[in-house]
Chain A
């Protein structure tokens, strides 16, 4: 059995160097159904002293100054697209700690003496980051901000954590695209000109089945807490569909190959010459970096170490029997780790570097590690008045209980009823809810924040449901595409036990985001509504007012009162005029 263990080993990189340095690493791993996971990791350090003096070497100055201005001690920013298919792809890269929910997700520990100050600094931070990353982060206001209690823990070492405030915001509607990638790549020391970052191309990255970009800034200190450094880690993880990526850009529409080139399954009966059941060749497809990413790696980034730990920048995780050819004019070094399942390369400087894997019939494969938990969430019910949320969370483990935190951050116009919350486990009758933290939404001021500590027995499925009402908004509060619906941020799940063996950061997973259709008013007729409602009110008020202020007299007494009011006088005059006119007419005849 060939192990997948090494992939996770690489994840647990431990570096606590206080001096400023830079390292980068690309891990490639073919997944089933011709998918390819590419994990880019860029990491650099800056000592706290030079950071305080704004002496930036590898740490990006633009981001560093924002963090100083907003008093942010630890920052996590995520841009994500697509869905991780845990059934066929297995465990998430980095145990899910470096990914975000669909759209943009941001959480940070802000240093402030009070909640209000923390929130105003948080707004400063989101507005500055919005400018830096060309994202709508400035729309993270009070309604999209929560203060999680159990789900997130600081990754860095903080001295006085009493003044630190954790704030978390999501933008599930944000579409991540090239304009977010360009500033992301600009933060890197080699800026996409050399090293593995030269592979990052918007056309391929945003064509992926799943992709997430992350930025994590945290302080790390040596054991005695004196020798501190600020570490920035940037990750890009994506799952590319190789068939799709290999299509030429000038001819992107897939067409069937000519029938002569397809090997047909001869064991099946055919009724015509032009039909064919393609024979599954059982071969791994052929691919190269140039095929998949559109270009080769443009040599090593000169700022990385040329020998030692961080020098091996490109690694590929394939079974030992798989042949991998290197195509470069420069000199490179290949080394094998972990029972030869991991091949790593030191890149040549200044020369293009490409990896080519020919198609090959395989007898062994890699073992996919199973995720400790799988989760899916959906909206039940129909109509635009109310609905219910259903989250189905499965513990596949045969022996172990799984304890986890489930975090929901819902928009204010979705009004959950906590008394309808039901958590059922398929195999037992005990209540799986261990602890609940709930902060209800306030209209137009803040969203709902729900955190649950849950426990599932082995081989069981937990079903979590609750009802909610959909609010109707003021017509100016709807977006231009009001009937599309509103996005609801993904639920975040953090495993509490069993602890991840690989890293101290924990294990996370996120559900997909939801689309919530709300009832809409008619946007075309504010004037009509104002007029019609006012008419009904005027009819009622006019009628009552008329009765209250006027006197009733007999209809036959009307003449005794004579003409009254402007109308009466006018009609009186008109009648006199008519009489005079008629009189004249009579004379003329």
Chain B
């Protein structure tokens, strides 16, 4: 079929670009791995290599302050040849991860759940891009390529989040639960995607099945399934490392932020400058703030659960403790699914110029602070503020557009008219 040929061509081109970059610039992966915008203390590939080194030399990687990633990554990466000498296997692995992610993203696009779901159909449902275009926008996004070359483990998290979304929008309960539990196991925060995705999965189930399942039983079985999968993963990890100390070193670090290495988020400089007596209080406030979006969005936009899930990935890209552009790339590659909302968005120019502005000035200001010494920490901090602001404008704007879209269905007479919030 023509579509399959095009898809093969797209994937082949994307893989070729990645492998070409890996082989033509052998120092590029290590250069990008060192960039704070891509690698955070909880996802860095260099730290992963250190963890694998300690693991293979029978030193517990969690009895130290360097390795904060999930234990199951250790045996996986210790099976691969040492990337310092034979990087090819690792490169292929990360390329495949990107391709699988694109595949999942195209599956989401094919279900069309963003424009028409069980309870809601957008009046602009014909305005959408083909799945190929969406896959291409993911695969050829420079942020995605940079993430792939830098090899942080957040690429794996992104893959599992995309698979969970794809499986939920196909109504495949078991694979959805498994993918989401893997994503949560790797990065903790994707567990907050469970309520909207569960709703999405339930909707699909109701559409497909002749007899709709009891919603309570359905919820309970899925919560139980997720808990079971997570407990199994954690228990396997404990068996693997011999103790439960990995919990404090992985999830504890995300919760308490002991490592203040700069990143593109809002937390690091805030907690560098925070007074010691208020540190715990503000850690609680920040986490509460990040989690508070889940119930609000899920309840208000219960008719469009996939839109809620997409918006939440954007919120995580701004408000999680160790965000990187890998998290932003997940959100930015999901935004094209909302093509039908673009005409209703008001600040597209402002948001896209803020993102572009920070993408170019961020590395420059970081250089001025760390290497040239002609700027101070405030330079990079200011850029991270603008970056967060730019992303949150897209989030807020798309939310407005989604609500406006719903309004057009409720009150068709207001189509094209100016609206106010009351």
Contacts and interface: CB of A to CB of B under 8 A. Distances in A.
A419 B52 CA distance: 9
Nearest to B35: A385
Contacts of B49: 417, 419
B77 to A, nearest CB: 12
B266 A536 contact: yes
Contacts, number: 169
A539 B266 CA distance: 13
Contact of A539 (B65, B389, B399): B389
Contact of A544 (B50, B276, B370, B399): B399
Given A537-B289, A548-B300, A555-B419, A526 B273 contact: yes
Given A417-B66, A440-B64, A547-B399, A525 B273 contact: yes
B266 A547 contact: no
A522 B419 contact: no
Interface in A504-558: 519-522, 525-526, 529-530, 532-533, 536-537, 539-541, 543-548, 550-556, 558
A473 interface: yes
Contacts of A133: none
A476 B260 CA distance: 13
Residue from the set A444, A541, A545 with the largest chain B CB neighbour count within 10 Å? A541
A552 B385 contact: no
Interface in B196-223: none
Interface in B120-154: none
Interface in B21-65: 34, 36, 46, 49-50, 52-54, 57, 59, 63-65
B10 interface: no
If over half of A's interface residues share one DSSP class (helix, strand or loop), that class is named, otherwise mixed; here it is mixed
Contacts of B420: 552-555, 558
Nearest to B404: A552
B417 to A, nearest CB: 5
Interface string A450-469: 00000000000000000001
Given A419-B53, A441-B65, A552 B419 contact: yes
Contact of A418 (B50, B369, B411): B50
Nearest to A543: B396
A530 B293 contact: no
Interface stretch (B226-234, B321-329, B333-341, B375-383): B375-383
A241 to B, nearest CB: 35
B283 to A, nearest CB: 13
If over half of B's interface residues share one DSSP class (helix, strand or loop), that class is named, otherwise mixed; here it is helix
Contacts of A472: 260-262, 268, 272
Given A526-B275, A532-B385, A543-B396, A537 B266 contact: yes
A9 to B, nearest CB: 45
Nearest to A384: B370
Contact of B422 (A519, A532, A551): A551
A544 B290 CA distance: 12
Contact of A386 (B34, B50, B296, B421): B34
Nearest to A440: B64
A552 B296 CA distance: 17
Contacts of A255: none
Contact of B296 (A439, A442, A544, A553): A544
Given A440-B65, A540-B396, A474 B271 contact: yes
B110 interface: no
B72 interface: no
Contacts of B369: 519
B407 interface: yes
B382 to A, nearest CB: 8
B378 A443 contact: no
A412 B275 CA distance: 21
B262 A554 contact: no
B81 interface: no
B319 interface: yes
B260 A474 contact: yes
B289 A547 contact: no
Nearest to A421: B53
Interface string B256-293: 00111110001011111111100000000000010011
Contacts of A537: 266, 289, 319
Contact of B417 (A442, A540, A556): A556
B300 A539 contact: no
Contact of A522 (B297, B376, B404, B411): B376
A581 interface: no
B46 A533 contact: no
Contacts of B407: 552
A570 to B, nearest CB: 16
B64 A441 contact: yes
Contacts of A382: 371
Contact of B258 (A385, A443, A545, A550): A443
B178 to A, nearest CB: 31
B66 A540 contact: no
A471 interface: yes
A564 interface: yes
A529 B381 contact: yes
Given A418-B54, A552-B404, A555-B420, A440 B63 contact: yes
Contact of B59 (A438, A530, A561): A438
Contacts of A383: 370-371
B400 interface: yes
B418 interface: yes
A361 B249 CA distance: 69
Given A418-B53, A540-B392, A533 B260 contact: no
A562 to B, nearest CB: 11
A471 B418 contact: no
A440 to B, nearest CB: 3
A548 B419 contact: no
A529 B419 contact: no
B92 interface: no
Interface in B307-324: 318-319
B8 to A, nearest CB: 38
Contact of A415 (B54, B57, B65, B275): B65
A287 B86 CA distance: 65
A548 B406 CA distance: 13
Contacts of A277: none
Given A529-B270, A532-B385, 8 more contacts: A415-B65, A440-B59, A441-B64, A522-B376, A533-B269, A536-B389, A539-B392, A548-B399
12 contacts: A384-B370, A384-B371, A385-B371, A419-B49, A419-B50, A439-B63, A521-B273, A525-B273, A529-B269, A541-B289, A543-B392, A548-B399
Interface of A: 382-386, 412, 415, 417-419, 436, 438-444, 469, 471-476, 519-522, 525-526, 529-530, 532-533, 536-537, 539-541, 543-548, 550-556, 558, 561, 564
7 A-B pairs with the lowest CB-CB distances in the bound complex, closest first: A440-B64, A419-B53, A540-B392, A543-B396, A555-B418, A526-B273, A383-B371
